[in-house]
């Protein structure tokens, strides 16, 4: 037995092996290699043709997910998260690990569309966006355990999973591409056994433990794309958004942004133009989550105003929940 991590092996067993066959013979160490993955030809966002196994996986450590650029649900969040992971891994992507995002809407997602999409998220080198023939991609996603069921395959049925693969060690594991980026970065560091470890001490310590549910929601679901007072990222800076927008509009926009846009609401149309086609995703927030978030956004904006708009000005309660401010006490 040559498996470093049974947990990772089991993750793959659950996700991939079930999709392949119920015959489930005991796995050998190199089971997930050239015999397993189809060596289909894919095209990168730069129009280069590559073979999935030979060129992209063989001998490498990889992180693979599926996306489609017109997705209004979780995929924009996944891409934003991975872009943050790429930043956290500072230079390792393209050297120690390769990221691949495979489009499951290859007809619409031409290399040109994928290239614009990648640019929108500030994607760096070592991360390929891939398209190809529809049937090849279906086969591939099934083999990767990245389609929700083995047979039916619908755009909306894609799983927001990220498969980590270490071809040299013959190991794969499933993780979620919407996890906290710091957590994902440390997961990669340990799964790929990087010796010169990441600065892990930074990851745990920066977080305030006692945070409200809404702040937690913001940090886990929104902060990959939005800041509060630190400027636009993928989406607009949300400081004072509760002043510039009507409360009812805001609540509805958080709940079903794609519907508001489909109705040609002028604000939604203007936002969609300005932010270059990356949509505000529908994150399936419940009523309570939306109410809490709106209240939290308002409270943060008031706090920033009363603190003189400087994150370091004032040491009173107004700063207590400011997530950019250092936490002096423990
Ligand atoms: C994948 C990136 C992404 C994520 C994640 C995301 N947003 Fe957005 N958001 C955007 C983009 C891009 C826009 C502007 C374009 C648009 O509205 O379509 C936007 C617009 C908004 C707006 C309208 C801003 C204005 O000026 O009126 C609000 C409010 C908002 N988002 C709140 C949130 C909240 C709250 C969360 C978390 C629950 C969140 N967003 C998660 C990308 C994102």
Find, among 56, 5, 53, the residue nearest to 169 by Cα.
5
- 227 vs 8, which has greater pLDDT? 227
For residue 30, what pLDDT band results from cuts at 50, 70 and 90? Answer: low
Q: Which atom of ligand 1 lies at the shortest distance from residue 224's CA?
A: 5
Q: Are 297 and 237 in contact (CB under 8 A)?
A: no
pLDDT averaged over every residue in the chain: 79
Which of 235, 261, 266 maximizes ligand 1 atoms within 8 Å of its Cβ, making it the mutation to test the pocket? 235
For residue 104, what pLDDT band results from cuts at 50, 70 and 90? Answer: very high
| Poorest-pLDDT segment among 195-199, 211-215, 219-223, 265-269 | 195-199
Q: How far is the CA of 281 from the centre of ligand 1 (A)?
A: 7
Q: Which atom of ligand 1 lies at the shortest distance from residue 293's CA?
A: 35
Q: How far apart are CA 43 and CA 101, in angstroms?
A: 12
pLDDT average, residue stretch 297-323? 59
Q: How far apart are CA 249 and CA 95, in angstroms?
A: 45
Q: How far apart are CA 6 and CA 190, in angstroms?
A: 14
For residue 33, what pLDDT band results from cuts at 50, 70 and 90? Answer: confident
Q: How far is the CA of 238 from the centre of ligand 1 (A)?
A: 8
**Quick check: CB of 8 below 6 Å from ligand 1?**
no
**Quick check: CB of 220 below 6 Å from ligand 1?**
no
Place of tokens 């809407």: 105
Q: How far is the CA of 223 from the centre of ligand 1 (A)?
A: 10
**Quick check: CB of 216 below 6 Å from ligand 1?**
no
**Quick check: CB of 225 below 6 Å from ligand 1?**
yes
Atom 2 of ligand 1, residue of closest alpha carbon: 225
Q: How far apart are CA 326 and CA 268, in angstroms?
A: 34
Find, among 12, 10, 60, 82, the residue nearest to 234 by Cα.
82
Q: Are 238 and 253 in contact (CB under 8 A)?
A: no
Atom 40 of ligand 1, residue of closest alpha carbon: 222
**Quick check: CB of 275 below 6 Å from ligand 1?**
yes
Q: How far apart are CA 66 and CA 101, in angstroms?
A: 5
Q: Which atom of ligand 1 lies at the shortest distance from residue 250's CA?
A: 29
**Quick check: CB of 235 below 6 Å from ligand 1?**
yes
pLDDT average, residue stretch 213-231? 90
For residue 211, what pLDDT band results from cuts at 50, 70 and 90? Answer: low
Segment 46-99, tens digit of pLDDT: 999 999 999 999 999 999 999 999 887 778 888 998 999 999 998 899 999 999
Q: Is the dihedral angle over the CA atoms 15, 20, 26, 28 positive or is it negative? A: negative
Q: How far apart are CA 242 and CA 318, in angstroms?
A: 17
Residue 329 has a pLDDT of: 39
Task: Name 77's Cβ contacts closer than 8 Å, sequence gap at least 6.
Answer: 178, 221, 224, 225, 281, 283
Q: How far is the CA of 17 from the centre of ligand 1 (A)?
A: 37
Q: How far apart are CA 51 and CA 39, in angstroms?
A: 5
Q: How far is the CA of 286 from the centre of ligand 1 (A)?
A: 16
Residue 156 has a pLDDT of: 52
**Quick check: CB of 221 below 6 Å from ligand 1?**
yes
Residue 204 has a pLDDT of: 42
Residue 190 has a pLDDT of: 86
Q: Are 60 and 99 in contact (CB under 8 A)?
A: no
Segment 239-294, tens digit of pLDDT: 999 999 988 899 999 999 999 999 999 999 999 999 987 889 999 899 889 999 99
Structure-derived torsion over alpha carbons of residues 146, 149, 153, 159, reported in degrees to the nearest 10: -40
Residue 98 has a pLDDT of: 97
Rg (CA), the chain: 21
**Quick check: CB of 293 below 6 Å from ligand 1?**
yes
Judged against a pLDDT cut of 60, whether residue 206 lies above it is answered with: no
Q: Are 290 and 251 in contact (CB under 8 A)?
A: yes
**Quick check: CB of 142 below 6 Å from ligand 1?**
no
**Quick check: CB of 245 below 6 Å from ligand 1?**
yes
Long-range contact set of residues 206-209: C-beta below 8 Å, sequence gap at least 24: 208/321, 208/323, 208/327
- Phi and psi, residue 320, nearest 5°: -55, -40
Q: Are 285 and 255 in contact (CB under 8 A)?
A: yes
**Quick check: CB of 226 below 6 Å from ligand 1?**
yes
Residue 26 has a pLDDT of: 42
């Amino acid at each position: 037995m040559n498996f470093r991590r049974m947990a990772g092996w089991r993750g793959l067993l659950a996700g991939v092996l079930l999709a392949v066959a119920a015959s489930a013979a005991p796995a050998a160490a190199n089971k997930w290699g050239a015999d397993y993955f189809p060596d289909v030809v894919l095209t990168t966002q730069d129009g280069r043709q590559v073979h999935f196994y030979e060129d992209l996986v063989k001998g490498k450590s990889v992180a693979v997910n599926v996306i489609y650029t017109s997705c209004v649900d979780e995929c924009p969040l996944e891409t934003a998260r991975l872009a943050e992971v790429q930043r956290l891994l500072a230079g390792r992507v393209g050297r120690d690990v390769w990221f691949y995002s495979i489009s499951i809407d290859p007809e619409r997602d031409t290399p040109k569309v994928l290239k614009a999409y990648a640019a929108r998220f500030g994607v760096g080198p070592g991360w390929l966006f891939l398209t190809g023939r529809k049937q090849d991609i279906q086969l591939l996603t099934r083999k990767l355990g990245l389609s929700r069921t083995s047979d039916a395959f619908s755009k909306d049925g894609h799983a927001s999973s990220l498969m980590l693969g270490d071809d040299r060690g013959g190991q794969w594991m499933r993780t979620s591409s919407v996890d906290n980026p710091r957590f994902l970065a440390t997961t990669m560091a340990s799964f790929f056994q990087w010796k010169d470890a990441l600065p892990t001490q930074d990851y745990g310590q920066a977080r305030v433990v006692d945070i409200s549910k809404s702040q937690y929601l913001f940090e886990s679901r929104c902060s990959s794309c939005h800041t509060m007072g630190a400027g636009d990222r993928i989406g607009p800076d949300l400081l004072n958004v509760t002043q510039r927008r009507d409360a009812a509009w805001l609540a509805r926009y958080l709940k079903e942004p794609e519907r508001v846009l489909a109705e040609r609401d002028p604000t939604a149309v203007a936002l969609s133009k300005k932010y270059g086609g990356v949509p505000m995703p529908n994150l399936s927030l419940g009523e309570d989550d939306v109410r809490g978030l709106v209240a939290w956004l308002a409270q943060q904006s008031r706090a920033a105003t009363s603190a003189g708009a400087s994150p370091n000005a004032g040491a009173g309660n107004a700063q207590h929940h400011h997530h950019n401010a250092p936490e002096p006490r423990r």
